[in-house]
């Protein structure tokens, strides 16, 4: 047995014996697309005891970006004077009419960047064009956008703007907990996102733990790290304790990355944001401050807020709220597939429906098995 296998075995042993001491089904939620993918890839569900469920929450920033935002990105990209720069993750996400990829095929200038600073460099290299950086992501990714805005100001770039759709995870977790009595979501704790926590710090979860009496354990992304965090969550549930535990201390400190937080505060202020599937959540958005208004694409291009309409009969809102499994949805695997996604959870490869589609069980026809949450909890 390797060291890893020994450690995995001992954690699993702890997790199983703690779970056996719990008379009911325990439900934990992760709120990070990378946790979703890692858990599916290592076959996590097959090693967990029957009464332990890990639900995927609103943790994929591409998936929760509202359809109107995608439409605005595409609209900007289609302007002849605009070069739209964005992360590779965004190019296939469907808006109401096509995706950035489709717009590019029709002549729009869409550039995939690895770093926000690549977009700044492009603006400097092409002074005759108006470069827009379409930025999505949680607190992990937002500091990079803030750095790009600072660089633009320092360089006094007249042709660079940012269309920011950054989101804050804690207000979304809070909204789920506040809605729980009505929605019927029964959560025994959160597996908190490791890399968001690198920025916001362990302490950021303390108010949630206090106010809602909910357990929060910060976990890394290797399978054994996820198991370690889950074992802690099961222990806490067994002991009826709500505590905050940092099981990713290699990377996460109590106060987070101070330089990054300061930078975020310089550039953004908290404000309402619309989440695909969840609607508007107060304080969950990062709005570009007045002092950076000339780099804010929303202001510069006078983009209008449009009424949002979620695709009919799509259950993504319920899926990312932990109230349904992908196969509960009539569209899953039928109208809605990774190549022609309808709902947000299918649009990114790390979305819950996409991960389920790729790694989940199959039925006799080769289509994703239609195994529902009701059956799973029965």
Partner 1 sequence: MCLAIPAKLIELKGDQGVVDLHSTRLPVNTLLIPEAKIGDWLLVHAGFAIQRIDSRAAAQTWAALRDLAEAAEESPPAGAKDRPDAAPRVTGETP
Partner 2 sequence: MTPPISHVNNAAAPLPAHFERIALAHGGGGQLTDALIAQAMLPRLNNPILAERLDAGLLERNGESLALTIDSYVVQPLFFPGGDIGRLAVSGTVNDLAVCGAEPLGLALSIILAEGLERKVLERVLDSIAATAREAGVQVITGDTKVVGRGHADGMYLTTAGIGCVPGSRNLHPRQVAPGDVLIINGNIGEHGLAVMLERDMPEVKSVLCSDAAPLNGMIGDVLREVPGIKFMRDPTRGGLAGAAADLAAQCGRHVVLQESHIPIRPEARHAADMLGLDPLDVANEGKVLLVVRPEEAEIALAALRSHSQGRGACVIGHVDAASDGICELHTTIGGRRIVQKPYGEQLPRIC
String of contacts with partner 1 for each residue 131-150, x by CB under 8 A: -----xxx-xx-xx--x---
User: By CB neighbour count within 10 A (0-12 exposed, 13-18 middle, 19+ buried), where does 34 fall?
Assistant: middle
Taking CB under 8 A as the criterion, which residues in 244-303 touch partner 1? 244-247, 249-251, 254, 257, 259-260, 263
- Could you give the CA distance from residue 251 to residue 265 in angstroms, rounded to a whole number? 22
Q: Tokens for 228?
A: 């370690």
CB-based contact 228:44 (threshold 8 Å): no
Interacting partner of 6 out of partner 2, partner 1, none (Cβ under 5 to 8 A depending on kind): none
Query: What would the two tokens of residue 115 be?
Result: 């770093």
The answer to whether residues 39 and 173 touch, using CB atoms and an 8 Å cutoff, is: no
Smallest gap from residue 263 Cβ to partner 1 (A): 7
Number of residues that bind partner 1 (CB under 8 A): 58
Q: Is 181 in the site for partner 2 (CB under 8 A)?
A: no
Is 240 one of the binding residues for partner 2 (CB under 8 A)?
no
CA atoms within 13 A on the CB side of 80: 0
139-198 binders of partner 1 (CB under 8 A): 140-141, 143-144, 147, 193-196, 198
CB of 25 to partner 1, least distance (A): 23
Query: CA 150, 154, 156, 159 torsion: positive or negative?
Result: negative
Residue 298 burial (CB count, 10 A): 18
Strand pairing class (160-166; 189-193): unpaired
How many residues bind to partner 2 according to rule CB under 8 A? 59
In 10 A of CB 257, how many CB atoms? 20
Q: Count the residues in the chain.
A: 378
Smaller CB separation from partner 2, 136 or 244: 136
Which residue's CB is nearer to partner 2, number 306 or number 337? 337
Range list of H helices, 287-343: 297-300, 316-320
Tell whether residue 202 is a contact of partner 1 (CB under 8 A). Answer: yes
Question: With binding defined as CB under 8 A, does residue 53 bind partner 2?
Answer: yes
- Phi-psi bin for 286: left (phi > 0), alpha (psi -120 to 50), beta? beta
Tokens of 262: 């300061």
Check binding of 112 to partner 2 (CB under 8 A).
Answer: yes
Q: Is 116 in the site for partner 1 (CB under 8 A)?
A: yes
Q: Which of 1, 114, 290, 304 is in the footprint of partner 2 by CB under 8 A?
A: 114
Angle at the Cα of 201 (from 352 to 53), degrees rounded to 5?
30
- Nearer Cβ to partner 2, position 70 or 244? 70
* Piece in contact with partner 1 (CB under 8 A), picked from 212-220, 266-274, 293-301, 312-320: 212-220
The least distance separating partner 1 from the CB of residue 214, rounded to whole angstroms, comes to 9
- Sign of the torsion angle spanned by Cα atoms 170, 257, 196, 206: negative
Minimum CB distance to partner 2 smaller for 311 or for 338: 338
| HSE, side-chain direction, 13 A CA sphere, residue 181 | 2
Nearer to partner 2, 46 or 302 (CB): 46
Among the candidate windows 149-157, 173-181, 261-269, 338-346, which touches partner 2 by CB under 8 A?
Answer: 338-346
Residue ranges in contact with partner 1 by CB under 8 A? 3, 32-34, 59-62, 87, 89, 114-118, 136-138, 140-141, 143-144, 147, 193-196, 198-199, 202-203, 205-206, 209-210, 213, 216, 220, 222, 225, 232, 241-247, 249-251, 254, 257, 259-260, 263, 348, 350
């Amino acid at each position: 047995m390797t060291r890893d296998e020994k450690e995995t075995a001992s954690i699993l042993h702890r997790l199983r014996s703690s779970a056996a001491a719990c008379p009911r089904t325990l439900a934990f939620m992760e709120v990070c697309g990378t946790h979703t993918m890692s858990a599916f890839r290592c076959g996590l569900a097959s090693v967990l005891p029957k009464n332990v469920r890990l639900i995927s929450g609103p943790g994929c920033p591409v998936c929760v970006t509202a359809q109107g935002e995608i439409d605005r990105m595409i609209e900007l990209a289609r302007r002849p004077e605009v070069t739209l720069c964005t992360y590779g993750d965004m190019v296939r996400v469907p808006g109401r009419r096509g995706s950035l990829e489709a717009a590019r095929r029709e002549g729009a200038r869409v550039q995939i960047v690895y770093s926000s600073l690549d977009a700044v460099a492009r603006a400097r290299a092409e002074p005759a064009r108006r470069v827009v950086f379409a930025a999505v992501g949680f607190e992990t990714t937002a500091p990079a956008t803030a750095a790009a805005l600072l660089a633009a100001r320092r360089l006094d770039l007249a042709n660079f703007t940012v269309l920011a759709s950054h989101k804050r995870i804690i207000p979304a977790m809070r909204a789920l907990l506040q809605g729980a009595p009505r929605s019927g979501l029964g959560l025994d704790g959160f597996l908190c996102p490791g890399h968001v926590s690198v920025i916001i710090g362990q302490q950021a979860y303390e108010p949630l733990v206090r106010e809602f009496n909910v357990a929060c354990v910060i976990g890394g992304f290797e399978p054994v790290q996820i198991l370690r965090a889950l074992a802690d969550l099961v222990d806490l549930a067994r002991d009826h304790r709500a505590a905050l535990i940092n099981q990713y201390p290699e990377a996460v400190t109590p106060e987070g990355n101070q330089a990054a937080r300061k930078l975020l505060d310089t550039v953004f202020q908290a404000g309402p944001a619309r989440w695909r599937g969840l609607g508007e959540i107060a304080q969950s958005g990062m709005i570009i401050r007045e002092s950076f208004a000339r780099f804010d694409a929303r202001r510069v291009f006078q983009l209008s807020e449009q009424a949002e309409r979620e695709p009919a009969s799509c259950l993504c809102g319920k899926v990312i709220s932990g109230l349904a499994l992908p196969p509960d949805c009539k569209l899953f695997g039928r109208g809605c597939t990774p190549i022609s996604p309808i709902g947000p959870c299918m649009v990114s490869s790390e979305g819950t429906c996409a991960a389920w589609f790729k790694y989940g069980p199959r039925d006799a026809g080769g289509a994703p098995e239609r195994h529902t949450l009701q059956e799973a909890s029965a």
